[in-house]
Structure 1
Amino acid sequence: MKHLKLLLACTLVAFMSSCKENAETTKAGFASHLQNDAKGYSYETVDNDPTGLRLYTLDNGLKVYLSQNKDEPKIQTYIAVRAGSNYDPKESTGLAHYLEHMVFKGTSKVGSIDWEKEKGYLEQIAQLYEEHRAEQDPEKRLELYRKIDEVSLEASNYSVANEYDKMMTSLGATGTNAHTWFEETVYKNKIPANELDKWLSLEEERFSELVLRLFHTELEAVFEEFNRGQDNDFRKRYASMLEGLFPTHPYGQQKTIGTAAHLKAPSLIDINNYFDKYYVPNNMAMVLVGDFNFDETIEKVANTFGKLERKDVDHPVLPKETPLTEVVTTEVFGPTAESVSIAFRTEAVNTQEEKLVQMCDMILANGNAGLIDLNLNQKQLVQNAGCSTTFLNDYGYHAFTGSPKEGQSLDEVKSLILEQIQLLKEGEFEDWMIEAVVNDLKKSQLQQYENSTAVASAYYDAFIHRVDWKDKVAYLDALKKITKEEVVAFANNFYKDNYVVTYKRKGEDKNIVKVSNPGITPVNLNRDKASEYITEFNKIESKPLAPEYVDYASAIKETTTNNGLKVSYIKNESNDLFDMNIIFDMGRDNNKKLGLAVGYLEYLGTDKYSNEDLKKEFYKLGINYYVSAGGDQTYIGLSGLKENLPKGLELLEHLLDNAVPDSEAYTKYVASIVKSRQNNKTSKASILRSGLMNYAKYGENSRLRNIYTVAEMNEMNVQELVDITKGIKDFKQRVFYYGKDVDAAITALNDHHTVKETLNDYPAATVYTEQETGGNVYFVDYDMVQSEMMFLAKGAPFSPENMAVSTLFNTYFGSGLSSIVFQEIRESKSLAYSAWSNYSTARKKEDSNYVMAYIGTQANKMPQAVDAMMGLMSDMPEAQEQFEAAKTAALKKLAAQRITKSNVFWTYESLQRLGIKEDNREAMYNAIKEMKMEDLRTFFNENIKGQEYNVMVVGNKKDVDMGALEQLGKVQEMDVDYLFNYGKVEDVKM
């Protein structure tokens, strides 16, 4: 929660929020300037901007945000359009979103092998959809849909699926995706720096025209996404909250995914009109953050995207909301744990109210010392609670969420949250809190400025919300001027009985829309064919990018403390933040009580400080700490501002040495664990990816199931748990430090981290044996629309020699939008929204590799989806051009990869667990260069084909074809309590 809050604070405050600064702020050093580069292009800069932005505006109105980051030879790219679901026609909701999907389908040049013939069929399909939309008779509509399916099959004879994705893959691009929200559609790629020219040429072509190719199969994928939303209780609660906050505005009245009725009756004419209206350069921005030359890059952008034609754009005037004057109550139902949200409507981004609400938000919950943090979470008065802000073009909202403890009502949680807001209104917070909040946000901002993706995200968000970048740079200085008196006065005026409360209750959702299987005829993928565009595109040679490898022996420096502890360190050359970890190569496997003990520490004080006082002291210092116990390692971590490292370490050591048992806190702690278990088993993701996966892998003897019963936890001696925490330092340990001033860090360790002269060896670890797989189907009945299933086969023991070929295999076969699995199951057959397969490398050298696959689909499509997946896993389709593209992609990704900063140490840690002492990427790169399709075929035949799978399924038993599952093996319906070893509800007593 702490790290999430800081991330939200940074991206939603320091980045995504802004205010109109007055002349006084501008004089303080945040003025913007207009300059000309060596090529004659004008750009804006802002004084004291740590991101170094150059903001260009091309003659056609396109905004171009450029910033350099030389950490790796890559460029984070975004193409942002000021067009989202707010602007969907009322009769075509969901339009902006499925237009986003279609922009990946190519143009008259990309994806077509005979455009004149294909065009005729696409025109027929568009007309058929208009007739289908107008027709009211169900039988006639079905007949029209069958005709659409028939013509679509014919059209697919002249197209090649996923040519855009293939080309992006061939560049070595990662993160190829897009998203749509209220006011934005944003297209994403991270590319090797040497591929900028090819990326620009392809993107110029992509945004030059819209071709609605393979439409009905992609629309079916959107239906699958719609179903995933129906299975997501968080999304349902969120949508209900928005509906209450905005009874008139599209924020609450038009879901981005659209309604089922509108998805079933799309208009291709409406989609084309939307594209023509909003996808124009003066309504778009290009964001590039990475390793490039400013002057050369803007010229390249101007020579490509500068050709796009400017058009006048009029965004619709959206309805205004009247003030909320009473509490609005809504509720939703679903199978997951109960929760409640309280939301207050705010003014829009770029207002004074935004700053004040953001300050209130951080005083209430900052992950450390906020009122909600201390009074509710630390005192364990609720299961968990928090708050966050969102600011949009027309309005915003301040949302609070809370989950109840066992036996606690949602209204009790709501009242406790409202009590914290009342304390804010009464000024019941420390005078130093505002300064600490600003420093906290500044620390988070420093961390984010190192990340090219975070900086790029900030730029496109500024564009979407029409925010001057100088206001973003000045934002934290503006917050500093806010006084406690202003916060209190604002809170009393703002937080009244004018909120929306949304109850997420357990129970059947009566509003679920059942979606039928339309029986789509699989379209032709034409893997062995190519458009002229991709053929010429692949002939273009980019300047080679040489891979760089790490000499871990020289990159990771070592020294020792006075008491002989080894300290590995890497200097932070970027900023004044540090990260220190004391590492113990033992965990819960070595001492089952260790995890329980370190978790208990979170709620304890010392003989000098209460638990609340400790949290405040750390927050004042700008220091975060944690103590965590994994299965085989335990960490004591400290991070923050380097100048406060000595005081932070002294405070942490004081806690470790002087923690005082608290029986009341322990009772609440156990109750919280029990409630977490109850909540966990209501989550289908936890059931599938944790419960079923561990059982399929290890059977009854797994780390997941090796837990204490409630009775055992209740009988624990709290002093013994505290002693276990205090005794951690008596075991062998080592230190990793990332930061500046290594000598000061060593001095702090010498002064404050005292240990015995001879440290203890680790206790023997519990061993969990991997089971043989095959012939088992583990099924959990769950109230959901979709069904999700995973396939797991135990593979060969870990071998370093397999890492290169498995990397290439995964790229070609099962990972990514242009992979064989994705194309067959989603693009051709429309059988799933998500489908993948991979060969998973072991985490430790003594473990096995695994073959894995996943399908998320409607229950009524499951038998077909399984047949499709099993067919692929038995007989790998071979497409030479696709293999070459995958090979090129794998090599380019390795060439562009840079392991830097603290990642050098953590990557080396991972390699050592595999018995590897050097940077193995060099061997992988050289091996992949020489590989041919025969190598992939051999790997497939030896490691994939003929494998025996354990199959894990979560779905609604009323809808799932259990007979089809029986064809895969012995079906065992699993009890969730048994899977997790929680014990029956009646056995859970406090």
Structure 2
Amino acid sequence: MTKSKLLLFSMLFIAVVSCKKSDTKVDTEVKTEQSKDANGFSYETVTNDPTGLRLYTLDNGLKVYLSKNTDEPKIQTYIAVRAGSNYDPKNSTGLAHYLEHMVFKGTHKIGTLDWEKEKGFIQKISDLYEKHRAEKDPKKKVEIYKEIDKISLEASNYSVANEYDNMISSLGATGTNAHTSFEETIYKNKIPANELDKWLDVESERFGTLVLRLFHTELEAVFEEFNRGQDNDGWKEYFAMLDGLFPTHPYGQQSTIGTAEHLKNPSMIDINNYFDKYYVPNNMAVVLVGDLDFDETIQKVNNTFGKFEKKELTHPTLPTEQPITAPVVKEVFGPTSERVSISYRSKGVKTEEEKLVTLCDMIMANGNAGLLDLNLNQKQAVQYAGCSPYFMNDYGFHSFNGSPKSGQSLEEVRDLILEQVEKLKKGEFEEWMIEAVVNDLKLSQTRRYENNTALATAYYNAFINRENWEDKVKFLDDLKKISKEELVAFANKFYGDNYVVVYKRKGEDKNIVKVANPGITPVNLNRDKTSEYVKAFSARKSAPLQPKFIDYKTAIKQAKTANDIEVSYVLNEKNDLFDLNIIFDMGKDNNKKLSLAVGYLEYLGTDKYSAEDIKKEFYKLGVDYYVSAQDDKTYVGLRGLKENLPKGLELLEHLWDNAKADQEAFDKYVQKIYKRRQDGKVQKGNILWSGLMNYGKYGENSRLRDIMQIDEIKAINPEDLVNLVKDLKNYKQRIFYYGKDVDAAVAALNANHKVYGEFKDYPEAKQYEETKTGGNVFFTNYDMVQTEMLFLAKGKPFDPKNLAASRLFNTYFGSGLSSIVFQEIRESKSLAYSAFAAYSNANKRDKSNYVMAYVGTQANKLEQAVDAMMDLMNNMPEAEKQFNAAKEATLKKIAAQRITKSNIFWSYERLKKLGIENDNREEMYNTIKNMTIDDLKAFFDNNIKGESYNVMVIGNKKDLDVKSLQKLGKIKEMDVDYLFNYVDKKEVKQ
């Protein structure tokens, strides 16, 4: 399944009763049934629903989705509100999203030291914002804002920042976050199962009252988020596409982040009105998936959220779009590589069009045998092409996207994609494809919905979209009923000249909005103080949850093939899927050509099958294969339906043994590598986190720079690459199998994985030495609004004794919403949307640990951000209360963690690289239990304080504050081609 399909599966739940192919079709009855639990609560279930959902509706209208999974003692929680940016007032766009931020700020009980005094200041701030909004004179607006800043500082004397985050963190929660979209606002936590009572109490309190506390500092954080969007070409393309598809509907006319003008002129009154109107129980859902008891849980939800009062609620009627009768053309500009998208507007969820578009999408692209996969990607006619649908309440769309290969225009890519759409309309796909893609969807769902988070996501999507769960369970069966003739008839009606095409071109974006630095006075955090609510909350004790540790020696079992290859295995007790890996303990460090060779295999056929036919045969079986070369490992893998393992392995071994070199495919492959490099070097994330970071660690001698140049690759005989792949079989190897019936798997290996003679030893691996850090600022110029900085210091060699302290330090100091860095940089000083620091342990025992910190901020806040971060990295604030909360959170996270399924093997593989043979979490747990803040301070002083940093910076040179960076070291501007060692800049022609 390709990445382009992830969006689809975040929207759709696809039921799996059986993934096995059968010649006999049996219709399984699916219907909704009403039942009552032991407490008398009514709930709905759906027959033959493999997820076991119980859907309750409380008396106040609140929907409660419950599903039980005891794989780990955790519960994925979502609180869903059926309202998003679609309902933002026209003069307050971005309101729903900003409200989402403010819900984290506490209530009249959480986050306040004296509510009676604080609320007076908040009212004054609200009045001033109304005055600020109405004022037209820019100078007077500045003066009003200064008054807002002054009173906000006074108000902060009575507030405690991040009390909600601290409470949730103390439960051992992970994934604490929220998001806002067109029709939804979703609040997220994954909690230990024994903390459900306390979670329900704090969340019901949080959603009972809205207090717009620390309003102007959080507004600056939203501005930084707005700036990040301006630096994201992908978002700009997306907004242009929506604007074309929906010229009157809020989908296209009101972005979730809002306009800069509206963000500059917020109304606290509007935000309170929105909360009062839409954050009501009959417009909300609580979703809980995990280790829970149905009867007890619904009683607890009713005791808390059931107290909310139902209100009359009407959703606004939104505009209806007129048909698109001719192509709508849009252009956006930015520094990243060029792309094109073609999008068709569809009807929304719960329509027949949703089913038909979903099926068309999979016929077009499924990662293996779709029309785009075979005719464009497999033949390397473009750099990449794919498609994905998206369905909302009022409308949906089907988007195709393509990237040009070297020397190819966007118009040429557009035409090639449209040619494939024409093939769909002509029915130029094979009869078996519909059944195959439905089975593919089943396989993907089976893998994804073993995960509680993915299943809970499906539930809240059903709530937001007002979908009956019965219809979701029947969705795939409905797809199977669609004939090829029906699908082709629909395609001819749906896909015409009624599309929006967006050309993402390289160039300057002239629509960038520059935001002034308002000069906010840092507010008081009062981290040493506590509200009465939190005191009572902290005094409550939950039933203890005991950690469970693994004995890897017994959890991972051993077998051998007939030719004496070691097979490590873990049994899959959940379903009939398998994952088989043939592992070679050598990689790119041992042979630079290895990654080229395994990548080339993707485009080759054999004496029996063409490259396209190979893909089709695997797709028919419901089996995927993959060959991957990493730095020190190479994997040849197979996964899919257990019953098709023998046939899948036979096909894989046939390709492995009989692949035939193809000069034309190789020439196109070289061109693809060249274009991938050109595209990669204009991605700011790649420049910072790959190019600059590697240079900061290794200098000139890094894996990143130690590459074959394009001319060198072009000179390779492709036959040599094929032989290199075939020769892999002759090297030492081991196998990991996750699935049922290991004897059958070993039998399949004996029958198909033929090796002869003694195995060869691995070639010696090349070593890359880490350089000393300190006194350097490596800067790369990039057309962007923000400036991003990464501080990196080489620490001491890896020592397992530091693992416990570093984990606790990261929780307390550097990561998460309640960490010291986040509070100081974002909450108090409003200098960034994202800021973190970490003590990063090596992934191999002979490597060094690193101290790192990151901040992304407006260029005009750079000096303040640098000073704030460097002060923290040298002077760790000692907050006893916050330390105890971090300690408790860390212990609870370890206690709730379960290493299961195939992760048992892969976690052991990671530990062995560190020289650890046991489950070291037990030692870490016991060490953290006995740690004090003095121990953490000693760790900080010995490992972090006074470190010498290389500082990696990416930003717009014309906005760069040179003086603030010179304080950190000597500035060296780094050319992108030099960072990646791309010395050959010549065009590569076919």
Same fold (TM over 0.5): yes
- Cα distance in structure 2, aligned partners of 1:541 and 1:848: 40
- Cα distance in structure 1, aligned partners of 2:436 and 2:26: 24
Equivalent position SS for 1:602: helix
- Cα distance in structure 2, aligned partners of 1:290 and 1:562: 42
User: How far does residue 9 in structure 1 lie from its aligned partner after superposition?
Assistant: 4.3
Q: Is the 8 A contact 1:684 1:782 kept in 2?
A: yes
Q: AA paired with 1:136? A: K
Question: Structure 1 residue 903 and structure 2 residue 903: aligned?
Answer: yes
User: How far does residue 7 in structure 1 lie from its aligned partner after superposition?
Assistant: 3.6
Give 1:650's aligned residue: 650
Matches within 5 A, 1:582-981: 582-981=582-981
Q: Closer, same or farther in 2 for the Cα pair 1:762/1:987, shift >3 Å?
A: same
Equivalent position SS for 2:603: coil
Question: Structure 1 residue 99 and structure 2 residue 92: aligned?
Answer: no
Q: Closer, same or farther in 2 for the Cα pair 1:220/1:381, shift >3 Å?
A: same
Question: Structure 1 residue 164 and structure 2 residue 170: aligned?
Answer: no
The CA deviation string for residues 163-213 of structure 1, in whole angstroms up to 9 with x for no partner, is 000000000000000000000000000000000000000000000010000
Matches within 5 A, 1:530-549: 530-549=530-549
- Cα distance in structure 2, aligned partners of 1:60 and 1:321: 35
Matches within 5 A, 1:97-246: 97-246=97-246
The CA deviation string for residues 815-860 of structure 1, in whole angstroms up to 9 with x for no partner, is 0000000000000000011000000010000011000000010011
Give 1:11's aligned residue: 10
Q: AA paired with 2:794? A: K
Q: Is the 8 A contact 2:671 2:989 kept in 1?
A: no
- Cα distance in structure 1, aligned partners of 2:49 and 2:67: 11
Give 1:354's aligned residue: 354
Q: Is the 8 A contact 1:6 1:441 kept in 2?
A: no
Q: AA paired with 1:419? A: E
User: How far does residue 966 in structure 1 lie from its aligned partner after superposition?
Assistant: 1.1
User: How far does residue 756 in structure 1 lie from its aligned partner after superposition?
Assistant: 2.1
Equivalent position SS for 1:878: coil
Q: AA paired with 1:300? A: K
The CA deviation string for residues 109-154 of structure 1, in whole angstroms up to 9 with x for no partner, is 0000011110000000000000000000000000000000000000
The CA deviation string for residues 527-583 of structure 1, in whole angstroms up to 9 with x for no partner, is 110100111100000000000000101100001000000000011000000000000
User: How far does residue 757 in structure 1 lie from its aligned partner after superposition?
Assistant: 2.8
User: How far does residue 988 in structure 1 lie from its aligned partner after superposition?
Assistant: 6.2
Matches within 5 A, 1:44-63: 44-63=44-63
Q: AA paired with 1:790? A: L
- Cα distance in structure 2, aligned partners of 1:26 and 1:334: 53
Q: Is the 8 A contact 1:14 1:441 kept in 2?
A: no
User: How far does residue 985 in structure 1 lie from its aligned partner after superposition?
Assistant: 2.4
Q: AA paired with 1:12? A: M
Q: Closer, same or farther in 2 for the Cα pair 1:584/1:94, shift >3 Å?
A: same
User: How far does residue 967 in structure 1 lie from its aligned partner after superposition?
Assistant: 1.0
Give 1:449's aligned residue: 449
User: How far does residue 15 in structure 1 lie from its aligned partner after superposition?
Assistant: 5.1
User: How far does residue 463 in structure 1 lie from its aligned partner after superposition?
Assistant: 0.1
Matches within 5 A, 1:569-588: 569-588=569-588
Equivalent position SS for 2:340: strand
Q: AA paired with 2:511? A: N
Length-normalised TM-score, structure 2? 0.98
- Cα distance in structure 2, aligned partners of 1:33 and 1:13: 22
User: How far does residue 448 in structure 1 lie from its aligned partner after superposition?
Assistant: 1.7
Question: Structure 1 residue 341 and structure 2 residue 371: aligned?
Answer: no
The CA deviation string for residues 487-527 of structure 1, in whole angstroms up to 9 with x for no partner, is 10000011000000000000000000000100000000001
Equivalent position SS for 2:607: coil
User: How far does residue 989 in structure 1 lie from its aligned partner after superposition?
Assistant: 6.9
- Cα distance in structure 1, aligned partners of 2:277 and 2:597: 60
Q: Is the 8 A contact 2:11 2:461 kept in 1?
A: no
- Cα distance in structure 1, aligned partners of 2:850 and 2:497: 55
Q: AA paired with 1:329? A: V
Of stretches 547-556 and 28-37 in structure 1, the one that deviates more from structure 2 is 28-37
User: How far does residue 445 in structure 1 lie from its aligned partner after superposition?
Assistant: 1.1
Q: Is the 8 A contact 1:563 1:757 kept in 2?
A: no
- Cα distance in structure 1, aligned partners of 2:266 and 2:552: 56
The CA deviation string for residues 918-973 of structure 1, in whole angstroms up to 9 with x for no partner, is 00000000000000000000000000000000000000000011121111001000
- Cα distance in structure 2, aligned partners of 1:423 and 1:6: 21
User: How far does residue 589 in structure 1 lie from its aligned partner after superposition?
Assistant: 0.5
Q: Which runs of 5+ in 1 are unaligned?
A: 18-24
Q: AA paired with 1:318? A: L
Give 2:402's aligned residue: 402
Q: Closer, same or farther in 2 for the Cα pair 1:905/1:28, shift >3 Å?
A: closer
Give 2:20's aligned residue: none
Equivalent position SS for 2:523: coil
Equivalent position SS for 1:141: helix
Q: Is the 8 A contact 1:16 1:461 kept in 2?
A: no
Aligned residues: 982
The CA deviation string for residues 239-263 of structure 1, in whole angstroms up to 9 with x for no partner, is 0000000000000000000000000
User: How far does residue 8 in structure 1 lie from its aligned partner after superposition?
Assistant: 3.8
Q: Is the 8 A contact 1:9 1:441 kept in 2?
A: no
Give 1:20's aligned residue: none
- Cα distance in structure 2, aligned partners of 1:74 and 1:239: 37
Q: AA paired with 1:785? A: V
- Cα distance in structure 1, aligned partners of 2:58 and 2:634: 54
Q: Is the 8 A contact 2:14 2:441 kept in 1?
A: no
- Cα distance in structure 1, aligned partners of 2:333 and 2:164: 40
Q: Is the 8 A contact 1:16 1:458 kept in 2?
A: no
Q: Is the 8 A contact 2:812 2:886 kept in 1?
A: yes
Q: AA paired with 1:4? A: K
User: How far does residue 31 in structure 1 lie from its aligned partner after superposition?
Assistant: 0.4
Give 2:424's aligned residue: 424
Q: AA paired with 2:898? A: R
User: How far does residue 4 in structure 1 lie from its aligned partner after superposition?
Assistant: 2.0
Give 2:19's aligned residue: none
Matches within 5 A, 1:284-303: 284-303=284-303
Equivalent position SS for 2:56: strand
Q: Which runs of 5+ in 2 are unaligned?
A: 17-24
Length-normalised TM-score, structure 1? 0.98
Give 1:22's aligned residue: none
- Cα distance in structure 2, aligned partners of 1:739 and 1:757: 29
- Cα distance in structure 2, aligned partners of 1:919 and 1:189: 26
Q: Is the 8 A contact 1:710 1:989 kept in 2?
A: no
User: How far does residue 791 in structure 1 lie from its aligned partner after superposition?
Assistant: 0.4
- Cα distance in structure 2, aligned partners of 1:442 and 1:83: 31
Q: AA paired with 2:886? A: A
Q: Closer, same or farther in 2 for the Cα pair 1:244/1:311, shift >3 Å?
A: same
Q: Is the 8 A contact 1:821 1:835 kept in 2?
A: yes
User: How far does residue 710 in structure 1 lie from its aligned partner after superposition?
Assistant: 1.0
Give 1:485's aligned residue: 485
Give 2:384's aligned residue: 384
Q: AA paired with 2:125? A: I
Q: AA paired with 1:885? A: A
User: How far does residue 3 in structure 1 lie from its aligned partner after superposition?
Assistant: 4.0
Give 2:527's aligned residue: 527
- Cα distance in structure 2, aligned partners of 1:544 and 1:748: 46
- Cα distance in structure 2, aligned partners of 1:984 and 1:831: 40
Equivalent position SS for 2:186: strand
Q: Is the 8 A contact 1:15 1:458 kept in 2?
A: no
